[in-house]
Amino acid sequence: PSTILEEFLIKRSQQKRRTSPANYKERHFVLTKSRLTYFEFRQGKKSIVKGSIDLAKIKCVEIVISDISIPCSYKYPFQVVHDNYILYVFAPNKDSRLRWVCALKEETKNNNTLIPKFHPNFWTEGRWRCCSQLDKLAAGCLLYDP
């Protein structure tokens, strides 16, 4: 399948388990018509798929607006809400972030899984920084504009 967008970006672990670490990894992101996939790059070797999200399962794609200090070298976050997880991705600059958010929105705008509201800030330290709710799956606090 042909590539719509690809770039090295940084992601935060999705913390799928209660005990998952909150770490940050550089990954090669590739967007196609059907999937958002991220690879671990290995010098002189074949890249390894670390994760892949079915675009049909995406519920929201938006930039993250936050005043918290970002503990990785890329400082422009956006979020991909899918299934019961949130993938936070960090782009190196505003242009890159906008390209990803626009392309992902374009590919997911007709999903029947879109949510009416999302959280504009991070889920961190057991709460939403936007609305202070303590449930990771709590309904969003800002209208989503796909």
Sites of contact with ligand 4IP (CB under 6 A): 11, 13-17, 20-21, 23, 25, 27, 50-51
User: Of ligand 4IP, Zn ion, none, which one does residue 21 interact with (CB within 5 to 8 Å by kind)?
Assistant: ligand 4IP
CB atoms closer than 10 angstroms to residue 99: 16
Compute the half-sphere exposure of residue 40: CA atoms within 13 Å on the CB side of its CA: 7
Say if CB 115 and CB 137 are below 8 A apart: no
Cβ proximity to ligand 4IP: between 51 and 146 the closer is 51
Q: Does 131 bind Zn ion (CB under 5 A)?
A: yes
Beta carbon nearer to Zn ion, 49 or 139: 139
Using the minimum distance from each CB to ligand 4IP, give the nearer residue, 27 or 119. Answer: 27
State how far the Cα of 86 lies from the Cα of 58, in Å rounded to an integer.
10
Of residues 95, 133, 132, 111, the one with CA closest to residue 61: 111
Q: Which residues bind Zn ion (CB under 5 A)?
A: 119, 128, 130-131, 141
